[in-house]
Amino acid sequence: MREVISIRNLEYIYPDGTKALEDINLDIFKDESVGLIGPNGAGKSSLLLHLNGILRGTKGAVKVLGMEIEDKNLAKIRQKVAIVFQEPDDQLFMPTVFDDVAFGPLNLGYSKEKVKERVKKALKKVRMEDYEDKCSHHLSLGEKRKVSIATVLSMDPEILILDEPTISLDPRARRELIEFLKELNMTKIIAGHDLELIVEICSRVVLLDEGKIITNGNPREVLRNRSLMELHGLEVPLSLRQQKITR
């Protein structure tokens, strides 16, 4: 399998001196779905922001699709690595859905016709094609989440990163999103606390705590390890618990 992200000895210290990431080594391969789990403050979001150059490590190196994270590669990397942020209202900053989905392709310098085509295609993919003219603040949270994904799909990325994608969603919207993500054929990195989603979608899981990778492996094996989960402020997902229901 082709390696799409390679992280070597990455360290990141915030300007206030807080160490967010320490000695991170990780490879992610094409079409893999990787879950990134850990307690609050483990460094998940900080790690994600390194993958398209929003944050730059104080030590170490990150390579995306063979390109070093450097100023000269940033435009290309940001087209290929799409981040869907935790809070849809941070992602949807334009007045209408169309403008938001068109924002990325327009910044890539595409023609008016190509942008329109990309917007239509991306909205169709998330089944929101009738929402082009709607204002973002009129959408429900589930709809906002879908449009947020469309805003990055319109850039035709190779790697999709989702930070807490199911947070605050009702069960129906969560299920729709999971089914959609299952159908989406591309490299996916999903960070969050929804461990059932990780079990269902991901082929690998990375457990992060205090800025370090604790373990990296098969989701069912890692998430079933009760002592490991509890040690790092997590819980074994219900679907993996050894319970028998007796009548």
Give the binding site for other proteins (CB under 8 A): 49, 52, 54, 75, 78-79, 82-83, 85, 87, 89-91, 93-96, 99, 102-104, 106-108, 112, 115-116, 133, 135-137, 151-152, 155
Please, which residue, 155 or 201, has the CB nearer to other proteins? 155
**Cβ proximity to other proteins, 151 vs 207, nearer residue:** 151
- Residue 138 CB, nearest distance to other proteins (Å)? 9
For residue 82, what are the β-bridge partners? 160
What is the residue whose two structure tokens read 């990296």?
Answer: 216
C-alpha dihedral over 188, 192, 198, 204, to 10 degrees?
60
Shortest spacing between CB 207 and other proteins, in angstroms: 24
Q: Kindly tell me which of 101 and 202 has the beta carbon lying closer to other proteins.
A: 101
List the one residue out of 151, 167, 168, 153 whose CA is nearest residue 45: 167
Give the angle subtended at the CA of 33 by the CAs of 31 and 39, to the nearest 5°.
Answer: 155
- Taking the complex as a whole, the smallest distance from the CB of residue 208 to other proteins amounts, in Å, to 19
Handedness of CA 40, 53, 166, 140 (dihedral sign): positive
User: Is the Cβ of residue 164 or residue 209 nearer to other proteins in the bound state?
Assistant: 164
CB of 82 to other proteins, least distance (A): 7
CB atoms within 10 A of CB 132: 16
Name the residue nearer to other proteins (CB basis): 107 or 239.
Answer: 107
Distance from the Cα of residue 132 to its chain's centroid: 24
Sheet strands side by side (includes 81-84):
81-84, 159-163, 187-191, 33-37, 204-209, 212-217
Determine the residue type at 182.
Answer: K
C-beta closer to other proteins: residue 58 or 111: 111
Least distance in Å: CB of 55 to other proteins? 9
The answer for residues whose C-beta is within 8 angstroms of residue 120's C-beta and 6 or more apart is: 129
Q: Are strands 187-191 and 159-163 parallel, antiparallel or unpaired?
A: parallel
Q: Nearest distance from residue 104's CB to other proteins, in Å?
A: 4
Separation CA 119–CA 113 (nearest Å): 10
Closest distance of CB 59 from other proteins, Å: 22
| Residue among 61 and 75 whose Cβ is closer to other proteins | 75
